[in-house]
Amino acid sequence: MTVEHYDRGIPLKGWDSVKSALNLYASGAVKGSHATENEQAKAVGQSFGALGLGLYLVASPHMQGVRNSFVERMTDEAHETLQERDHWSRHYDYDGQGVFFKTSVEITVLDRKEELYMLEINAAYVGSAPESELAEELGIPRALRYYMVTAEIKSEDGLHFAFDFEEALRAVDGVLKTDSLKGVEIANTFMAGDRFAGIKPVQIFFGTGISVTVAPGRVERRYVYNKTSEAHQDTWTIEGPVLYGLLDSSYV
């Protein structure tokens, strides 16, 4: 069983926390905040040589350092938008000063009553690496976007599979708090389809903004035509949380 997870966004409480985080990023104290500037400067140097690079560094406003007023203008604009909407985003190209050069900033309202926000930073060349380092500097774990568990089942006879959904769920309890979700529920949901539905992923929603999607891998079609009975036969069965069926014959 292998586990992958994707984290994105820094959860912050209070608007002042959002402003403080952006000011910290703007200060250049975060290790990866200058990565995009460095990549651009390197590209200019390779194309135009030392003289071109020197002129670029002097003339480009985004290389002249970030003033607090830049972050203030950004947060003022975002705050005004977020009074009526739940999401604000802005992409800065050459107008992005200092560490905001070629950088996208997004702020999402998670809970107005509790004043919870999500801050996302994505920079050219380096993606969300600066965001990750800002979160580390702040001592705040980034938000979990998805957590994927891949389980490869060894077939005893090489023809059939037996998958225990309860075992898979318990593997992610500590992260997704799926204690209330039982494997037998997912197994029963899989069995609820008909022969025309085909094999489709099952998505179960629980909690706020959390869902579990379960998708089978290399398995045979559930309904197989039986020439003797001249009818489609269901090859899947369940026993509690365990789903039984045929493996895809092309991979056997």
pLDDT digits (tens, 9 = 90+) for 100-148: 888 999 999 988 998 999 999 999 888 888 899 988 888 888 887 766 7
Nearest to 119 by CA among 133, 134, 108: 108
Tell which wins on pLDDT, 250 or 225. 225
Residue 191 CA, distance from chain mean position: 29
The DSSP annotation for 22-69 comes to HHHHHTT-SGGGGHHHHHHHHHHHHHHHHHHHHHHHHH-GGGS---HH
Domains of the chain, by residue range, sit at 2-146, 153-246
Q: Report phi then psi at 152, rounded to 5.
A: -100, 120
Does position 178 have pLDDT exceeding 80, yes or no? no
Q: How confident is the model at residue 94 (pLDDT cuts 50, 70, 90)?
A: confident
Tell which wins on pLDDT, 190 or 117. 117
Spell out the alpha helix ranges (H) of the chain: 15-26, 35-59, 68-81, 129-138, 165-170, 173-176, 183-191
C-alpha 160/C-alpha 210 separation (Å) is: 32
Q: How confident is the model at residue 206 (pLDDT cuts 50, 70, 90)?
A: low
Q: What is the dihedral of CA 99, 100, 105, 111, to 10 degrees?
A: 60
C-alpha distances in Å from residue 98, one per residue of 29, 55, 85, 134, 194: 12, 16, 28, 16, 58
Helix (H, G, I), strand (E, B) or coil at 186: helix
C-alpha distances in Å from residue 218, one per residue of 164, 181, 245: 16, 25, 11
The pTM assigned to this predicted structure is 0.57
Nearest to 169 by CA among 155, 153, 151, 146: 151
C-alpha 183/C-alpha 164 separation (Å) is: 7
**pLDDT digit string (tens) for 40-80?**
444 444 444 443 333 333 344 433 344 468 899 999 999 99
**pLDDT digit string (tens) for 2-43?**
767 778 889 998 999 999 889 888 887 765 444 444 444 444
> What pLDDT, on a 0 to 100 scale, did the predictor assign at position 122?
92
Q: How far apart are the first and last CA of the chain?
A: 20
Nearest to 242 by CA among 190, 193, 197: 190
> What pLDDT, on a 0 to 100 scale, did the predictor assign at position 90?
94
